[in-house]
A and B are shown apart, each in its own frame.
Chain A
Amino acid sequence: MKIAIASGKGGTGKTTLATNLAHLLSQKFPVVLADLDVEEPNSGFFIKGEKIQEKKVFRMIPEWDQDKCVLCGNCQRVCKFNAVIKLGEEILVFNQLCHGCYACSELCPQNALPMTSYEVGKITEFRQNDLHFLEGRLNVGEEQAVPVIKETINFAEKKFAPGILRIFDAPPGTSCPVIEATKDVDYIILITEPTPFGLYDLKLAVEVMRELKKDFGIVINRHGIGNNDVIRYCKDERIPLIGKIPNMKTAAETYAKGGLLSETIPEIRNALEKIIDNLRTLEVLS
Chain B
Amino acid sequence: MKEIVIISGKGGTGKTSITAAFAMLAGNNAVIADCDVDAADMHLLLEPDFSHAEDFYSGFKAVIDQQKCTKCGKCKQVCRFDAVQKNDDSYTVTPMDCEGCAYCAEVCPAAAIQMVEQNVGKWYISKIKSQTEMVHAKLGIGADNSGKLVAKVKKEAKNVALQTGKDLILVDGSPGIGCPVVSSLSGADYVILVTEPTLSGFHDMKRVFELIQNFHLSSGCIINKYDVNVEIAEKIHDFCETNSVDHIANIPYDETFTAAMTEGKTIIEFDDGNLTNILKDSWKKILLLTDSH
Contacts and interface: CB of A to CB of B under 8 A. Distances in A.
Which of A143, A174, A175 counts the most chain B CB atoms within 10 A?
A175
Contacts of A270: none
Interface stretch (A24-32, A192-200, A272-280): A192-200
A11 B99 contact: no
Interface residues of A, number: 57
Contact of A179 (B102, B115, B142): B142
Nearest to B138: A204
Contacts of B262: 195-196, 226-227
Contacts of B109: none
B9 interface: yes
A103 B39 contact: no
Contact of B44 (A141, A197, A204, A252): A197
Contacts of B107: 107
B261 interface: yes
A253 B230 CA distance: 10
A40 B175 CA distance: 9
B39 A9 contact: yes
Interface in B4-23: 9-13, 16
Contacts of A211: 141-142
B207 interface: yes
A80 B178 contact: no
Contact of A176 (B103, B144, B200): B144
Interface string B224-236: 0100110010000
Contacts of A100: 80
Interface in B202-228: 203-204, 207, 210-211, 214, 225, 228
A247 B157 CA distance: 38
B96 interface: yes
A11 to B, nearest CB: 1
Nearest to A40: B204
Interface stretch (A65-73, A157-165, A234-242, A255-263): A255-263
B139 interface: yes
Which of B13, B115, B261 counts the most chain A CB atoms within 10 A?
B261
Contacts of A142: 178
Contacts of A145: 176, 178
Interface residues of B, number: 61
Nearest to A45: B199
Interface in A163-220: 171-177, 179, 183, 193, 195-197, 200-201, 204, 207-208, 211-212
Contacts of A201: 39, 41
A171 B181 CA distance: 14
A39 interface: yes
A95 interface: no
Interface string B87-116: 000000000100111110011000000010
A138 interface: yes
Nearest to B205: A40
A12 interface: yes
B99 A99 contact: yes
A225 interface: yes
A252 B261 contact: no
A179 B67 CA distance: 31
Contacts of A265: none
B263 to A, nearest CB: 9
Contacts of A196: 41, 44, 261-262, 264
B96 A80 contact: no
B102 A78 contact: yes
Which of A15, A138, A140, A249 counts the most chain B CB atoms within 10 A?
A140
A100 B255 CA distance: 46
Contacts of A58: none
Contacts of B253: 249, 252
A282 interface: no
Contacts of B39: 8-10, 172-174, 200-201, 204
Which of A171, A176, A193, A257 counts the most chain B CB atoms within 10 A?
A176
B229 A253 contact: yes
Give 7 closest A-B pairs by Cβ, nearest first.
A11-B12, A10-B11, A101-B101, A173-B38, A39-B176, A11-B11, A256-B229
17 contacts: A10-B12, A39-B176, A42-B203, A103-B101, A103-B106, A140-B210, A143-B178, A174-B38, A175-B144, A179-B142, A197-B41, A200-B39, A208-B142, A225-B255, A226-B258, A252-B198, A256-B198
Given A12-B11, A39-B207, A144-B179, 11 more contacts: A8-B39, A10-B11, A40-B200, A140-B214, A173-B39, A179-B142, A195-B262, A196-B41, A211-B142, A256-B197, A257-B198
Interface of B: 9-13, 16, 38-39, 41, 44, 60, 78, 80-81, 96, 99-103, 106-107, 115, 139, 141-144, 146-147, 174-182, 196-201, 203-204, 207, 210-211, 214, 225, 228-229, 232, 253, 255, 258, 261-262, 264
